[in-house]
């Protein structure tokens, strides 16, 4: 089996298990209280803060949006509840089951369309989307497959369309080495070699770069406008804080304050990024 097929199989198996029999109760409660949910998520959570920057919430209303790697479908449901016409794809069929349950339980103006299976084999019409988005998705692809997804993104977007991807960022070798040695929930430290290697065998992330430079170069092949926006330079320290309220207060402050840091600090130290691709070639 090729490296690419092996990676896809690993992702499919991992996420089929994770999303099997998923309970949509939380999603329904969030989309039924959309203003409160977004007020909290977009000010305290890096992925929501990043993805909803620059008026995304208002700009998607009535627009056609494609979400790649929709996973648990929280974002797909929020975008649909905001009035977007959402198409969602994931390699895991379990995401399609979540979409079915959501459409049956909420009166979306446009029910979510699940695009089943291997996205690259699903030839949707050219220039048919205003937005293509992905949250923590691209870094699950090997580099050759990512290239095919970016090419397809450029083909699917209208000339005024925009792609936004929220991804982890590793721009400093030292921080990267440090990161692997600090254990996080579910992932042992590299100091514990046996446990780490065992964890790595089941990890659905291929070994690849997440650097902003990489995403800028990869995007320039298919888009005239490319931008990466660092998110999480100061917010990353919130993981050492106890107590939800204090942590969220710090996160709100950090996510706003770090925007003012000079790019020469922000880029190497950031932990994640919003990648914007516009003007398909």
Ligand X SMILES: C[S@@+](CC[C@H](N)C(=O)[O-])C[C@H]1O[C@@H](n2cnc3c(N)ncnc32)[C@H](O)[C@@H]1O
Q: Which is nearer to ligand X, 51 or 254 (CB)?
A: 51
Q: Which is nearer to ligand X, 14 or 247 (CB)?
A: 14
Which string of x and - marks every residue 133-152 that binds ligand X (by CB under 6 A)?
--xxx--xx-----------
Find the binding residues for ligand X in span 76-95 (CB under 6 A).
89-92
| Segment lying near ligand X (by CB under 6 A), choices 52-60, 67-75, 124-132, 222-230 | 67-75
- Tell me the closest approach of the beta carbon of residue 8 to ligand X, in angstroms: 5
| Cα–Cα distance, 143 to 209 (Å, whole number) | 8
* Per CB under 6 A, 72 contacts ligand X: yes
* Per CB under 6 A, 69 contacts ligand X: yes
Instruction: Give the residue from 18, 47, 50, 52 showing the smallest Cα distance to 34.
Output: 52
Instruction: Give the residue from 138, 128, 80 showing the smallest Cα distance to 108.
Output: 80
SS3 218: helix
| Cα–Cα distance, 96 to 22 (Å, whole number) | 11
Q: Residues 175, 241: contact at Cβ < 8 Å?
A: no
Sheet holding 85-90, edge to edge: 113-116, 85-90, 64-68, 129-135, 157-168, 272-280, 223-231
| Segment lying near ligand X (by CB under 6 A), choices 132-140, 193-201, 215-223, 229-237 | 132-140
Q: Return the residue of 66, 71, 132, 215 that touches ligand X, per CB under 6 A.
A: 71
- Tell me the closest approach of the beta carbon of residue 230 to ligand X, in angstroms: 19
Chain position carrying tokens 């970016």: 150
* DSSP-assigned beta bridge partners for residue 128: none
* Per CB under 6 A, 113 contacts ligand X: no
| Segment lying near ligand X (by CB under 6 A), choices 31-39, 58-66, 130-138, 253-261 | 130-138
- Tell me the closest approach of the beta carbon of residue 261 to ligand X, in angstroms: 25
Q: How far is CA 151 from CA 145, 155, 216, in A?
A: 10, 6, 14
- Tell me the closest approach of the beta carbon of residue 54 to ligand X, in angstroms: 19
Instruction: Give the residue from 103, 91, 87, 93 showing the smallest Cα distance to 24.
Output: 103
Tell me which residues touch ligand X (CB under 6 A): 8, 11, 15, 69-72, 75, 89-92, 119, 135-137, 140-141
């Amino acid at each position: 089996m090729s490296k690419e097929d092996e990676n896809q199989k690993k992702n499919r198996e991992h996420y089929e298990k994770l999303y099997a029999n998923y309970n949509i109760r939380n999603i329904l409660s969030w989309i039924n209280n959309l203003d409160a949910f977004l007020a909290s998520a977009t000010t305290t959570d890096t992925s929501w803060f990043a993805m909803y920057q620059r008026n995304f919430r208002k700009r998607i209303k009535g627009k056609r949006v494609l979400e790649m790697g929709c996973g648990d479908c929280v974002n797909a449901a929020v975008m649909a509840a905001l009035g977007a016409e959402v198409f969602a794809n994931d390699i895991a069929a379990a995401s399609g089951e979540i979409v079915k349950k959501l459409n049956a339980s909420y009166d979306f103006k446009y029910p979510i369309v699940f695009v089943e299976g291997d996205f690259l084999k699903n030839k949707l019409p050219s220039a048919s989307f205003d937005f293509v988005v992905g949250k923590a998705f691209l870094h699950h692809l090997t580099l050759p497959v990512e290239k095919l997804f970016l090419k397809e993104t450029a083909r699917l977007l209208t000339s005024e369309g925009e792609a936004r991807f929220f991804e982890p960022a590793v721009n400093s070798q030292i921080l990267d080495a440090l990161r692997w040695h600090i254990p996080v929930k579910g992932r042992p430290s590299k100091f514990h070699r046996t446990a780490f290697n065992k964890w790595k065998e089941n990890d659905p992330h291929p070994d690849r770069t997440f650097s902003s430079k990489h995403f800028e170069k990869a995007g320039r092949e298919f888009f005239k406008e490319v931008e990466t926006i660092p998110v999480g330079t100061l917010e990353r320290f919130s993981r050492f804080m106890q107590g939800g309220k204090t942590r969220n207060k710090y996160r709100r402050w950090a996510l706003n304050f770090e925007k003012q840091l000079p790019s020469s600090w922000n880029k190497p130290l950031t932990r994640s990024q919003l990648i914007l691709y516009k003007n398909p070639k």
